[in-house]
Structure 1
Amino acid sequence: MFGLNRAEVIGRLGADVTVNHLTSGGRVANMSIATDESYLDRNSGDRQERTEWHRIVTFQPGLIDMLEKHATKGRLVYVSGTLQTRRWRKDGEESDRFSTEIRLAPGGRVQFLDKPNGANGNGTPAAQATGSDNGSVASGGVTDPAPATQDDDDIPF
């Protein structure tokens, strides 16, 4: 049987990355990325904006280290990973809860497409990382990072 499970998004981080420690001794990083879509309302003909939020998760130690340094609210980021749906039940509840996330496993990719806040404009390349089989981060530069296209007032968070 064959299949393809790949998810790619470009959007802005809704908050700084959150890193939690697991009872097993490992760590997990979580992020939320907002993507915007505009469309014409059928009834009024007005242009409407809709924001979709995407949950991102990784257990890769080297990638977590990079995210702790660079993943801050408002940064423009490209993420490539796989979709994963988790199911759990809270104590005292009778029904299951579900969460679909983009998982950054080995082979996943994160690339920041803008300069961090407070950058001095000296041409420092944007941060880029790729998950690898051993959990390390392969760093590289982006020769011409895309400038941010929105003012802070236009960010939906």
Structure 2
Amino acid sequence: MAGVNKVIVLGHLGRDPEMRYQPSGAAIANFSIATSENFKDREGNKQERTEWHRIVLFGRTAEIAGEYLRKGSMAYVEGRLQTRKWTDKEGQERYTTEIIGDRLQLVGPRGGGGSAASFDEEDHGGGHSTGASSAPASSGRKQDTPPPPMEDFDDDIPF
């Protein structure tokens, strides 16, 4: 029976993505995402624990990350864990565990808007976008202002 290697991370970027390019021209994006959890210790004091996750994206998904993600941005990444061995400057063998992302979803407002966009590695840039309204849910009564027409929707996410 085969195993499952699936990771889902939702958090904030610690810095802007670092972009590199393979000789073929394919993009590689590296960045870290912080996830935090709040809990109470044995004495009842509130504590916060932050975990940092190294993310690597390839191809069009990496290009999207480099263009739209910045330090502090919230992002959702799906992928798999991979550990690689490398040698440091002193000749010591080191190991790094990373999340090789195959899906990226931009989360949260962009320029005050309430939209999110999702990009899959298989899409090759043809991801889909889902709009999220920032208006509160209706309580059964008609809202005073109608939503803007779709042709006035201004979004420069490339898909």
> Smaller-chain TM-score range?
0.7 to 0.9
Within-5 A mapping of 1:1-157: 1-23=1-23, 25-42=25-42, 44-59=43-58, 61-94=59-92, 96-104=93-101, 108-116=102-110, 119-121=111-113, 125-132=115-122, 136-144=124-132
Shift of 1:138: 2.5
Task: Give the structure with the larger strand fraction.
Answer: 2
RMSD: 2.0
Q: Deviation string for 1:82-132 (max 9, x for gaps)?
A: 0001111113334x211111102xxx211111022xx143x5x32220111
TM-score (norm 2): 0.75
Shift of 1:26: 3.6
The share of aligned pairs that are identical, in percent, is: 38
- Spell out structure 1 runs of 4+ moving beyond 4 A: none
TM-score (norm 1): 0.76
Question: How many residues get paired?
Answer: 134
Shift of 1:34: 0.4
CA contact (8 A) 2:61 2:103 kept: no
State which structure, 1 or 2, has the greater radius of gyration over its C-alpha atoms: 2
Counterpart CA distance in 1 for 2:89 and 2:16 is 29
CA 1:73/1:91 → structure 2, altered by over 3 Å: closer, same or farther? Answer: closer
CA contact (8 A) 2:27 2:63 kept: no
Structure 1 equivalent of residue 143 of structure 2: none
Q: Give unpaired runs (5+ residues) of structure 1.
A: 147-157
Residue identity opposite 1:142 in structure 2 = T
Q: Give unpaired runs (5+ residues) of structure 2.
A: 135-159
Counterpart CA distance in 2 for 1:29 and 1:75 is 15
CA contact (8 A) 1:81 1:109 kept: yes
Counterpart CA distance in 2 for 1:78 and 1:86 is 23
CA 1:35/1:131 → structure 2, altered by over 3 Å: closer, same or farther? Answer: same
